[in-house]
Amino acid sequence: MRFASHAALGMSYLAQHKFVHRDLAARNCMVNSDLLVKIADFGLSRDMHESDYYTSGDAQAKLPIKWMAPESMERRVYNARTDVWSYGVLLWEIFSKGAKPYPGIPNQDVYDFLKRGQRMDAPKNCPPEIYGIMVRCWQDNPKSRCTFVQVANELEELLEGDRDYVAAPSVGVVGKRPIKHREEPGVTDDSYLVPMQQETAFGADGPV
């Protein structure tokens, strides 16, 4: 639960600063010696505004199909809402203890599986509240998906509840609703991100 919370906070920070990651997955989350999860691998990330879309022109590129939203598979569209879809898959990875998404379904069949309205089942022993977040991340209509702010707040509430979850530090104010602080010295909003290497960023009109 704590790892899921850290990832949501890191992605909230990215979305707030108009960045799209495009390859959010367990393989791109690192854990430091303080058990703080950091979002890494910005090789596919692009700087853009919420109202803009980045469309990849390279049809031959290797794409993380099992983490991609349907609109990304269809039109190579990437935005904060497609990152939310990927976060839902990351959440499934966390609560399945590292299992590969869409077990038994080859990459080439994932799109048809999703377009039939099907979704992955809840991992074994996954709390229903967590699976509910996953399902809301996987809404076919991008506008119906939850936001990272909503996810971060919901996870914070679960961590503060009666269930036997491991407490996670919460930091900063993201969006309109403040996330309650758990005091942890030296942790800031961007503590959940690995510094990004300098590279060309793309917006709606090309390189920026």
Give the pLDDT of residue 192: 52
Active site residues: 23
Query: From its phi and psi, is residue 164 left (phi > 0), alpha (psi between -120 and 50) or beta?
Result: beta
Angle at 40 between CA 6 and CA 128, to 5 degrees: 35
Please, where are the H alpha helices in 33-190?
70-75, 80-95, 107-115, 128-137, 148-159
| One-letter amino acid of 113 | F
Tell me how far apart the alpha carbons of residues 204 and 206 are, in angstroms, rounded to a whole number. Answer: 6
pLDDT in tens, the chain (208 residues): 889 999 999 999 999 999 999 999 998 888 888 888 888 875 555 554 433 334 445 555 678 899 999 999 999 899 999 999 999 999 999 999 999 999 999 988 999 999 999 999 999 999 999 999 999 999 999 999 999 999 999 999 999 885 654 333 333 322 333 333 343 444 445 555 555 443 333 333 333 3
CB 84 within 8 A of CB 147: yes
pTM: 0.74
Give me the domains of the chain, ranges plus CATH numbers: 2-51+62-203 (1.10.510.10)
Alpha-carbon distances, residue 168 vs 3, 154, 171, 183, 208 (angstroms): 8, 13, 10, 10, 37
